[in-house]
């Protein structure tokens, strides 16, 4: 089973230590949460893992294969893919076309693009919206299409940056269902999210960042029970309120 590692990663960004010696591992098929207050360095860590930002020091690997110097496109071809905080769709295109664009980056033939798109529209319950233009879609649907577009590349490791932000309770549950479909295909998920109920429902393990440092790692239950984790959230997001 392949494992994605980042080891002792440090990043200086905007005059601050955005990350200080952070190490993390995700094995194929796992669902792992990445939590922490605003500004903790969560997005920066996804930037480093996905190749959008070179770390000042430290390395990123899949098993023994070094990724640290590879650009995002090369990493995507090795199965490492991410979505962005506030991900947007091509609003002038249909749901189907947005997912097809993801599949096209597989570099496969047209028949396979159509097949993979159909498969995802089915498993993520988007079939009825296939021909809807993405302009003005509810946020919950948008996030499911963003997920489908990312899954179209058949990533081995998928990183999601706050996918449930702005979603209603019902939309969040629908998104969780969609993530289960992704995991059933064997995709490992690293998800940044403030909604603790979501993290609890989706993830087995979690890492907690605070001010660029790894504050805690453990099972989701251990994480939420940790006084250090609860203290890190005081004044930002109340970890016990979810």
Q: List residues near ligand ADP by CB under 6 A.
A: 13-14, 16, 18, 36, 38-44
Distance CA(84)–CA(97), nearest Å, equals 19
Instruction: State the binding partner of 13 from ligand ADP, Mg ion, none, CB within 5 to 8 A by kind.
Output: ligand ADP
Strands (E), 54-154: 57-62, 65-66, 80-82
> Rounded to whole angstroms, what are the CA distances from 159 to 28, 113, 230?
13, 22, 24
Angle (deg, nearest 10), helices 95-104 and 139-151: 30
Q: Report in angstroms how near the CB of residue 21 gets to ligand ADP at its nearest.
A: 15
Q: Report in angstroms how near the CB of residue 192 gets to Mg ion at its nearest.
A: 6
**223 part of the interface to Mg ion, by CB under 5 A:** no
Residues 6+ apart with CB under 8 A from 151: 102, 120, 124, 158, 182, 185, 187
- Identify which of residues 17 and 132 has a Cβ nearer to ligand ADP in the complex: 17
**b (16+ CB within 10 A) / e for 41-69:** bbbbbbbbbbbebebeebbbbbeeeebbe
Comparing every residue's Cβ against ligand ADP, the nearest one is 14
**43 part of the interface to Mg ion, by CB under 5 A:** yes
- Identify which of residues 71 and 185 has a Cβ nearer to ligand ADP in the complex: 71
Q: Report in angstroms how near the CB of residue 97 gets to ligand ADP at its nearest.
A: 30
Q: Report in angstroms how near the CB of residue 43 gets to Mg ion at its nearest.
A: 3
- Identify which of residues 16 and 108 has a Cβ nearer to ligand ADP in the complex: 16
In the complex, the residues that contact Mg ion under the rule CB under 5 A are: 42-43
């Amino acid at each position: 089973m392949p494992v994605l590692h980042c080891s002792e990663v440090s990043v200086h960004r905007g005059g601050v230590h955005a990350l200080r010696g952070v190490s993390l591992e995700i094995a194929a098929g796992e669902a792992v949460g990445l939590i922490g207050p605003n500004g903790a360095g969560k997005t920066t860590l996804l930037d480093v893992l996905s190749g959008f930002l070179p770390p000042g020091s430290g390395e990123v690997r899949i098993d023994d294969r070094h990724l640290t110097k590879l650009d995002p496109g090369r990493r995507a071809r090795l199965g490492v893919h991410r979505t962005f905080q506030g991900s947007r769709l091509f609003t002038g295109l249909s749901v189907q076309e947005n997912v097809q664009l993801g599949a096209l980056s597989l570099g496969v033939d047209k028949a396979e693009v159509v097949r993979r798109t159909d498969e995802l529209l089915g498993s993520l319950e988007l079939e009825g919206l296939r021909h809807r233009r993405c302009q003005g879609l509810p946020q919950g649907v948008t996030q499911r299409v963003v997920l489908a577009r990312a899954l179209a590349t058949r990533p081995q490791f998928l990183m999601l940056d706050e996918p449930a932000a702005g979603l209603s309770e019902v939309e969040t549950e629908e998104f969780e269902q969609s993530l289960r479909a992704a995991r059933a295909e064997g995709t490992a998920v690293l998800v940044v999210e403030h909604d603790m109920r979501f993290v609890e429902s989706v993830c087995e393990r979690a890492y907690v960042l605070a001010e660029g440092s790894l504050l805690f790692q453990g099972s989701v239950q251990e994480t939420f029970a940790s006084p250090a984790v609860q203290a890190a959230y005081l004044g930002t997001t109340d970890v016990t309120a979810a």
